[in-house]
Amino acid sequence: KNNIQIAIDGPAAAGKSTIAKLAAEELGYTYIDTGAMYRAITYKAIERDIDLENEEALTQLLLETKIDLRPSVNGQLVFLDGEDVSDAIRSNIVTSSVSAVAAHATLREEMVKRQLKMAESGGVVMDGRDIGTHVLVDAELKIFMSASVDERAKRRQLDNERRGIDSHVEQLKKEIAERDKMDSERQASPLVQAKDAIYLDTTELSIMEAAQHIIQLAKERM
């Protein structure tokens, strides 16, 4: 069997998307960044001035919204109703609001439906918070990826610099910890390591090393 499913979960800024993207490329698999989907609907809700606590309104909004993830040379582009929002969904306001939106159960149900459809073609690397526990529950390989908060804040800082977003490490540390807390403590599919997931600490690993490790584990399961 050549086309397996790889689920990668973990806290914010652990390097999931960068590493998952690399591994997917190397394996010739489809990469699906589910965080980008939650970010996209959050962006739209903010634009429309919708109350982020209003589960019904947000779920209705999602039902009327098209979110496309398209592969590109430097990763993945995100289209919201046909508009490229790849950069806009990384803004501070979206980052600090997304966990509130992602906490709603009915909105998550619709997201999971879409994610399952995207994974139908087989040969996927999907990253998020609930992929191993709720989305790709039968994935052949599940990884729970983490790194120290210091390291994660440093990485996010570099990321932001590259994107031209102003930020400070201490502030980032606070934001990351807050988001992890919200994502871990919510009722609807909280961030938690799946029983059958392999724990991967990337604090001391380069992006390449972490990707190679995942590729190795994937090959053992093909």
Q: Tokens standing for 64?
A: 């009327």
Q: Which is nearer to ligand C5P, 129 or 205 (CB)?
A: 129
179 binds ligand C5P (CB under 6 A): yes
Stretch in the footprint of ligand C5P (CB under 6 A) among 60-68, 124-132, 137-145, 153-161:
124-132
Contact track, ligand C5P, 24-63, x by CB under 6 A: ----------xx--xx------------------------
- Residue 10 binds to ligand C5P (criterion: CB under 6 A): no
Residue 102 binds ligand C5P, judged by CB under 6 A: yes
Position 75 contacts ligand C5P (CB under 6 A): no
Q: Min. distance of Cβ 57 from ligand C5P in angstroms?
A: 18
* Total residues in contact with ligand C5P, by rule CB under 6 A: 14
104 in contact with ligand C5P (CB under 6 A):
no
In angstroms, give the least distance from the CB of 107 to ligand C5P. 10
Q: Which is nearer to ligand C5P, 35 or 123 (CB)?
A: 35
Taking CB under 6 A as the rule, does residue 151 contact ligand C5P? no
With binding defined as CB under 6 A, does residue 130 bind ligand C5P?
yes
- Contact between 128 and ligand C5P (CB under 6 A)? yes
- Decide if residue 200 touches ligand C5P (CB under 6 A): no
SS (H, E, C) the chain: CCCCEEEEECCCCCCHHHHHHHHHHHHCCEEEEHHHHHHHHHHHHHHCCCCCCCHHHHHHHHHCCCEEEEEECCEEEEEECCEECCCHHHCHHHHHHHHHHHCCHHHHHHHHHHHHHHCCCCCEEEEECCHHHHHCCCCCEEEEEECCHHHHHHHHHHHHHHHCCCCCHHHHHHHHHHHHHHHHHCCCCCCCCCCCCEEEECCCCCHHHHHHHHHHHHHHCC
Residue 146 touching ligand C5P (CB under 6 A): no
Task: Kindly list the residues in this chain that would bind ligand C5P in the complex (CB under 6 A).
Answer: 12, 34-35, 38-39, 98-99, 102, 128-131, 179, 183
Binding residue ranges for ATP: 10-18
